[in-house]
Chains A and B, each alone.
Chain A
Amino acid sequence: MQDSREDDWQVYGTRLSSRLLVGTAQYPSPKILADAIRASEAEIVTVSLRRESGGSGAGTSFWQLIRELGVRVLPNTAGCHTVKEAVTTAEMAREVFDTPWVKLEVISDDDTLAPDVVGLVEAARILSRDGFQVFPYTTEDLGIAEKLVDAGCEILMPWGAPIGSGRGLNNPYGLRAMRAHFPDVPLVVDAGIGTPSHAAAAMELGYDAILLNTAIAKAGDPVVMARAFAQAVEAGRLARLADPMEPRDMASPSTPVIGRAFTAA
């Protein structure tokens, strides 16, 4: 059994030891955001580009805070509903954040924030051709996933449940099938995680990492919850490496039967 601390994974040639990626939105304060990121031990955080509110300079202090944390940033295209919007946002993010990484979201509707997988594949193709390293927010649909890989994606990020819903893994069967179908592609469950047990369950399915935001940011104590998620992700990963037992239909005594008292003869 290897120690999980030597159990690195890789995406686009970057070696990572933490298997928890966290968002930076919705925290009660910048200090709690910073403390929670540290407690999560995340090496990658997601960020976005938005119009300035509160005068010029408001974005600068956030960016300064993130840089001081020494983490890698993964800019998103959150809120983009068309290929054109997503591509332009990605281009803008590459210049500002100075990274080829982009968490590509093309959203189909505002009720579910489900990926528009048709637009996603098209945008992934355009961006990959233009030198981006695309992290696509997708569904567990295997045909779409194949097209994303063909488009140049070296990682796939299926949803667990709708963004911000905290419902956990809506389709564990589909996620398991995806893991089996893509044994060598890094897979990250992105969105829908509500509690550490959801994250552990996804890791037990063999997912390489978990990306979440609301479950930590909207907890009563985000810093403690960040620690809880770090431990759950590690526990789930260790469980996967340890090869869990198969469930059985019938009871089977765990205490040895031989040598017990009160047996006849």
Chain B
Amino acid sequence: MRAETLAALLAELEYEDAVVATARNRDFVRRKDRAQTQIVEGDEIEILVPKQGG
């Protein structure tokens, strides 16, 4: 991964147009904050999508 921000990582993974929610190191990152959210080696990034649930 070469991305330096969460937004860039999503673009690299081709999630740009998908409906996803994101977290970094178990803290929620709002959609509007992704471009300003720096990511570094070892960060735990969560990308979640709508799924079936009970």
Give residues in A with beta carbon < 8 Å to B.
Answer: 23-27, 33, 46-52, 56-60, 62-63, 66, 75-76, 78, 84-85, 88, 91-93, 95-97, 163-164, 213-214
Do B54 and A59 have beta carbons less than 8 Å apart?
Answer: no
Bound complex: CA A27 to CA B53 (Å): 11
Given contacts A47-B50, A51-B47, contact A59 B30 (CB under 8 A): no
Do A92 and B22 have beta carbons less than 8 Å apart?
Answer: yes
Do A48 and B30 have beta carbons less than 8 Å apart?
Answer: no
Bound complex: CA A60 to CA B27 (Å): 23
Do A23 and B18 have beta carbons less than 8 Å apart?
Answer: no
Given contacts A23-B54, A75-B53, contact A57 B18 (CB under 8 A): yes
Asked whether B2 is an interface residue with its Cβ less than 8 Å from the other chain, the reply is no
Contact of A85 among B14, B26, B52 (CB under 8 A): B26
Given contacts A56-B15, A56-B18, A59-B18, contact A92 B51 (CB under 8 A): no
Bound complex: CA A78 to CA B31 (Å): 22
Do A59 and B53 have beta carbons less than 8 Å apart?
Answer: no
Contact of B51 among A59, A163, A164 (CB under 8 A): A59
Bound complex: CA A49 to CA B21 (Å): 8
